[in-house]
Amino acid sequence: MGRDTWLTVVSTAVATVGIIECLRYFYHQQKQQGRQPSLDANQGSRHSEELIQEQLARNYAFLSAEGMSKVREQHIVVVGAGGVGSWTATMLVRSGVSKIRIIDFDQVSLSSLNRHAVATLADVGTSKVECLKQHLLKIAPWCDIDACNQLWSLETSEQLIFGDDFKPTFVVDCIDNIDTKVDLLHYCHENKVPVISSGGAACKSDPTRINIADISKTEEDPLARSVRIKLGKKGITRGIPVVFSAEKPDPRKAKLLPLDEEELAKGDVDQLSALRNFRVRILPVLGTMPGVFGLTIATYILTVISGYPIEPVEGKNRLKIYDSVYQSLSGQEARLGNLDNRVPIALREVPYIIDEVFRGKSPISGFSTRLTLSRWNPDKPLSFQNIVVMTKDEQKTHEERVLKGGERLEDVYSAEVIERVKGRFKDEEYFSQFR
């Protein structure tokens, strides 16, 4: 390490220590004078904008000042303050959102403590929304937190979403009840309020299977499937992002617990179920998974509203189809007469091409099912810069018209598609520096 580098490291460390000591002095002076240091940007000089920005410094460095300005202007409604909702709300507030409304009618229970973001034993028996508010104000006292200890329903929708001149910029659906969930998503869709929905975290244990996708593309999630069917009957088939787990059920893993006679006597079980005969209160939940769901939702919102580039991979975890996709490219080369040419990619590189370069979907149609790989330009050698993800039907047409038929790419595809493919190749060229 050179002399200039050492000087930079030392000066940075000294500056950091100086900032920390100044903060300590500030807090000490406030306590000596019998006051808690306040940072509320909405309440005049009692709250220092400089200190708020210092607390959010890492977010400013990541999202930029312009992006953070958008984050801090958000008015977000979180419906459901359990495992998923509490983590979503907590990270939105920690990240600088200045106005948040949290809606839930439930109380903190002992069994909540395995997954709730902030609740302690002392909070058991108190309302979930008030618990969140009190804890989060200790983290970000400048945040305007509206705790609504109510059940969201169509009858209360207008007041809870728009009441008291609240102008929501985003709604987060963390509801377990299927009908209420459908009503909320339908309400947001009809009122053109951006919304993101959480799938079911119960009985899930693999964080690598977490997906963000349009509701039309959710899989292996009974809750999301039920909601998708009911929304379809209302004419809504797409346009709602959902965080869900594509982890498949396994007889060796946790399963929904059966209801006893006492539970069945409590009423219409199906009103609370994603599947027949189960209640939310008896779902086996690994405490970490609701947190992963909530953090994923918060990350999605923060990046989308700040303008930070994010393009979730659709239909990831295609472990069983990578081999068939690989064989589709090898088969195509054989059909083109290139019997002696080895395919210049390995099976382990197929996920990279599909998920990282092409984001899990065809650049031609945007479909993410029945995928194959295909040579793009017949005049260029097969390489990472000349392989495209297509559906099986698109591959067949591409072979007939371009690879065998000799038609120009410009005569077969629109300028938009060609530019999209070029953009993916440009991405691959950039990614290849780090592979």
Residue 139's CATH number: 3.40.50.720
pLDDT for position 346: 83
Q: Are residues 232 and 335 in the same domain?
A: no
Domain presence at residue 407: yes
Q: Which of 30, 167, 159, 22 is nearest to 103 (CA)?
A: 159
Two tokens, residue 385: 């810069």
Q: Are residues 9 and 83 in the same domain?
A: no
Q: What's the rounded Cα separation, in Å, for the pair 188 and 235?
A: 14
Query: DSSP characters for 334-349?
Result: HHTT-TTPPPSS-GGG
pLDDT for position 369: 82
Give Cα separations from 214 to 9, 119, 314 (angstroms).
45, 32, 8
Q: What is the CA radius of gyration of the chain?
A: 26
Which DSSP helix (H) or strand (E) runs through 49? helix 49-55
Q: Which of 260, 249, 192, 251 is nearest to 225 (CA)?
A: 249
Domain presence at residue 429: yes
Residue 325 confidence (pLDDT) above 60: yes
Reported as a pLDDT band with limits 50, 70 and 90, residue 350 is confident
Residue 172 half-sphere exposure toward CB, CA atoms < 13 A: 35
Tell me the pLDDT tens digit for each residue of 106-151.
Answer: 999 898 898 999 999 999 999 999 999 999 999 999 999 999 999 9
**Number of domains observed in the structure of the chain:** 3
Domain presence at residue 411: yes
- Contacts of residues 159-166 at CB distance under 8 Å and 24 or more positions apart, as own/partner, are 160/77, 160/79, 160/101, 160/103, 161/77, 161/187, 161/188, 161/191, 161/193, 166/75, 166/77, 166/99, 166/101
Q: Are residues 377 and 343 in the same domain?
A: yes
Q: What's the rounded Cα separation, in Å, for the pair 276 and 270?
A: 6
Q: What's the rounded Cα separation, in Å, for the pair 55 and 416?
A: 43
Two tokens, residue 347: 């099976």
Range of the domain at 240: 57-253+285-306
Q: Which of 143, 138, 102, 141 is nearest to 120 (CA)?
A: 138
Q: Are residues 100 and 226 in the same domain?
A: yes
Q: Are residues 349 and 397 in the same domain?
A: yes
Q: Are residues 101 and 129 in the same domain?
A: yes
Q: Are residues 233 and 367 in the same domain?
A: no
- Bridge partners of residue 302, in order along the sequence: none
Higher per-residue pLDDT: 266 or 420: 420
Q: What is the mean pLDDT of the chain?
A: 83
Domain presence at residue 223: yes
Q: What is the pTM of this model?
A: 0.69
Of 194-198, 355-359, 419-423, the poorest mean pLDDT is in 355-359
Of 239-243, 281-285, 378-382, 412-416, the poorest mean pLDDT is in 281-285
Q: Are residues 337 and 223 in the same domain?
A: no
Tell me the pLDDT tens digit for each residue of 366-410.
Answer: 988 889 999 999 999 889 999 999 999 999 999 999 999 999 999
Cβ-count burial 272-289 (b if 16+ within 10 Å, e if not): bbbeeebbbeebebbeeb
Q: Are residues 63 and 24 in the same domain?
A: no
Q: How far apart are the first and last CA of the chain?
A: 26
Q: What's the rounded Cα separation, in Å, for the pair 342 and 236?
A: 46
Domain presence at residue 317: no
Higher per-residue pLDDT: 368 or 272: 368
Domain presence at residue 111: yes
Q: What's the rounded Cα separation, in Å, for the pair 387 and 407?
A: 18
Domain presence at residue 73: yes
- Bridge partners of residue 241, in order along the sequence: 214
Q: Are residues 76 and 28 in the same domain?
A: no
Residue 327: exposure state from Cβ atoms within 10 A (0-12, 13-18, ≥19): middle
pLDDT for position 168: 94
Domain presence at residue 266: no
Q: Are residues 105 and 13 in the same domain?
A: no
Q: Look at residue 30 and give its three-state secondary structure.
A: helix
Q: Are residues 236 and 341 in the same domain?
A: no
